[in-house]
Structure 1
Amino acid sequence: MRRNTRRAVGATVAMMAALATSVALAPPAGADVSDCELVPEAPYGNVGGGGVFCPAGAGTFTYRAVVDCYDGYPNPSNPQYIGTYYGPWVQASMTEETSSTVPCNGYVPGSGIGFNTRVEVR
């Protein structure tokens, strides 16, 4: 009986050691968007829209750009709010740069301006 108990304890210890090694070698989990660049950065505007650009190695998470769009026509110094627009969901990559962008189209081509870019992670 003691021999079987020792074997069971030995097998359990071996399995726990193997599990601890595999957990220690696993890639980091969760979203780390701190390396991603938001264009335009608040409070600045960007003609044409905005986006989120994540460098290679930022993590493995899914994200998209959220941009408030304004129309600069007829008065670029007093743009009028159009709406909040969402870019496509993108999977960040450990090996490639990725981006999610939003075009802002105004009444006249080229008059759309993106403000308040932010990133949404799921």
Structure 2
Amino acid sequence: MMAAVAALGTGLVATAPPASAAPSDCRLVPEAPYGNVGGGGVFCPAGAGTFTYRAVVDCYDGYPNSSNPQYVGTYEGPWVRASLTEDTNSTVQCHGHVPGSGIGFNARIELG
């Protein structure tokens, strides 16, 4: 019986979740001041905690002049629950007037 309890205790230590991180450990794409063709998002590593978040991205249209993109709107990605065991992400697609002309700027995280 004692051996079973000792083995169980050892198993619990070996399968402990990664150390908890914080929302600040999540990566934003695009990082300011750069743009990202197609949109943007928030990517949180495993162990980021158990908070709920979503990406918020300002979207622009690069058509017809990619050197002077026009503001389209601010869009939110889906709500996602960060995980202690898996990488998670919330992404936003920016669509322009023609395929491939949407550009995401100023990605940020919103906590739920």
TM-score, length basis structure 2: 0.81
User: Is 2:79 aligned against 1:89?
Assistant: yes
The counterpart of 1:104, out of the listed 71, 82, 94, is: 94
SS state of the match for residue 66, structure 1? Answer: strand
Q: State the percentage of identical aligned residues.
A: 80
1:77 aligns with 67
CA RMSD of aligned residues (A): 1.5
1:114 aligns with 104
User: Is 2:64 aligned against 1:64?
Assistant: no
Q: Deviations over 1:28-59 (max 9, x none)?
A: 99x82011000000110000000000000011
User: 2: CA distance between counterparts of 1:35 and 1:94?
Assistant: 13
Q: Which runs of 5+ in 2 are unaligned?
A: 1-18
Higher helix share: 1
TM-score, length basis structure 1: 0.74
Matches within 5 A, 1:30-45: 32-45=22-35
Larger Rg: 1 or 2?
1
User: 2: CA distance between counterparts of 1:84 and 1:70?
Assistant: 9
Q: Deviations over 1:84-111 (max 9, x none)?
A: 0000000000000000000000000000
User: 2: CA distance between counterparts of 1:35 and 1:67?
Assistant: 18
Q: Which runs of 5+ in 1 are unaligned?
A: 1-27
Q: Which runs of 4+ in 1 moved over 6 A?
A: none
